[in-house]
């Protein structure tokens, strides 16, 4: 798995469907806002105000809106699903973003196994079976720098 170029990742990729839309957002990290002197800016409640920047280490998200009917869940037509699949297969930008952040979610799940007591060796073996980037697993799960 090759990481996408962070600078080239758009803030959002939107796929228009016949009955709705799908929006793919990259992962983001919160950083403290600072003034010109480098002091942290506080919000009205006294907490540090945050800026959100694109990240290759945080999970992205997908928002789905529309659908054929609204029953408190999303219901899409087969044409909508086919449109999503075609976009994934034919749009390299969408494919790269989906594949990368799906791997990040898998790595986050491995982090839960670490917190549950699984050994580093076992986690790295699982990562290998899942075809995950070992360096990225080490960085996110174990905090080891690249």
CA dist 79 and 19 (Å) reads 9
Which residues of the chain fall below pLDDT 70? 1-3, 68-75, 146
Half-sphere exposure of 119 (CA within 13 A, CB side): 3
Tens digit of each residue's pLDDT (9 = 90 or more) over 89-102: 999 999 999 999 98
Tell whether the torsion through CA atoms of 86, 87, 88 and 89 is positive or negative: positive
Residue 1 lies in a domain: no
- Cβ atoms 60, 25 nearer than 8 A: yes
In a domain? residue 62: yes
**CA 19 to CA 104: how far, in whole Å?**
29
Distance from C-alpha of 146 to C-alpha of 144, rounded to nearest angstrom: 7
Show the domain range for 115. Answer: 7-141
Q: Is residue 146 part of a domain?
A: no
The tally of domains found in the chain comes to: 1
- Indicate whether 2 belongs to any domain: no
- Judge whether 15 lies within some domain: yes
Helix, strand or coil, per DSSP, at residue 34: strand
User: What pTM value is reported for the model?
Assistant: 0.66
């Amino acid at each position: 798995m090759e990481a996408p170029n962070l600078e080239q990742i758009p803030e959002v990729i939107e796929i228009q469907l016949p009955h709705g839309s799908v929006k793919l957002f990259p992962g983001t990290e919160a950083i403290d806002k600072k003034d010109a002197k480098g002091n942290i800016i506080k919000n009205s409640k006294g907490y540090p105000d945050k800026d959100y920047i694109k990240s290759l280490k945080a999970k992205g998200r997908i928002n789905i809106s529309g659908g054929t009917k609204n029953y408190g869940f999303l219901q899409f037509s087969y044409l909508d699903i086919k449109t999503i699949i075609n976009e994934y297969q034919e749009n390299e930008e969408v494919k790269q973003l989906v594949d990368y952040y799906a791997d990040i979610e898998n790595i986050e799940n491995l982090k839960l196994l670490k917190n549950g007591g699984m050994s580093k060796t076992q986690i790295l073996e699982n990562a290998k079976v899942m075809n995950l980037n070992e360096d990225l697993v080490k960085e996110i799960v174990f905090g080891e720098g690249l």
